Amino acid sequence: KASIIGKEFIENFLKSTKLDANKIVTLNIRDQKFDPKRNSNKKELLKFAEYLNKKKYLPLILPDTNEMWEVDEQFQKFKISKEISCSVSLRIALYERVLLNIFVPGGITTLAYLNENVNFIFFKAGFIEGSVVHTKDQWLVEGNFPFSNKKQILAYKDDTFDNLKDEFENFLKLTDGKN
């Protein structure tokens, strides 16, 4: 769970940037040389960020810390937070505060799926053909995690624009668009 100081920092961040937390959807980018099959599809995420903007939601880009300088050009018209990307404490506080968090498999997903206060959709859940980590032997869950709530969704599909959009719309129906 988020620390008091983490929550204070995120409230100050939201206030200073004039962002409405109930409209924010974090797009957590994975861009690693190790096991690239699990990486985010940045081209499709960009389309999804544009869709969110049109629907009056606020995509907040959290780049992979190993490649954080690479997202500037591609996602330049969106809010990018490198500072939050570099802090576990700030990530947790942000994840708890916003409407929704979008992930693909990576270490930071643990901050979400082990926290009952975080709404998320985790794409590429399950076995990934060609992955070093997400092998048939390593992924034993079917459906959502047994400890997850209805706002914590494992999406056993790629992070294409259509899948991102469909899962987001289903999330909004499920939650009435409320955090």
pLDDT per residue as tens digits for the range 53-99:
999 999 999 999 888 777 667 899 999 999 999 999 999 999 999 99
Q: How do strand 120-122 and strand 79-80 relate by DSSP bridges?
A: unpaired
What totals of helices (H) and strands (E) does the chain contain, helices first?
Answer: 7, 6
Task: Please tell me the distance from the alpha carbon of residue 148 to that of residue 87, in angstroms, as a whole number.
Answer: 24
Structure confidence at residue 67 (pLDDT): 80
The one-letter code for the residue type at 127 is F
Structure confidence at residue 150 (pLDDT): 92
> Mean pLDDT over residues 92-111, rounded?
92
Half-sphere exposure of 146 (CA within 13 A, CB side): 2
Structure confidence at residue 127 (pLDDT): 57
Q: Is the pLDDT of residue 101 over 80?
A: yes
Q: Is the pLDDT of residue 132 over 60?
A: no
**pTM of the full predicted structure?**
0.92
**Contact yes or no for 158/65 (Cβ under 8 A):** no
The one-letter code for the residue type at 119 is N
Q: Is the pLDDT of residue 8 over 60?
A: yes
Q: What is the mean pLDDT of the chain?
A: 89
**Contact yes or no for 84/95 (Cβ under 8 A):** no
How many beta carbons lie within 10 A of that of residue 78, not counting itself?
A: 18
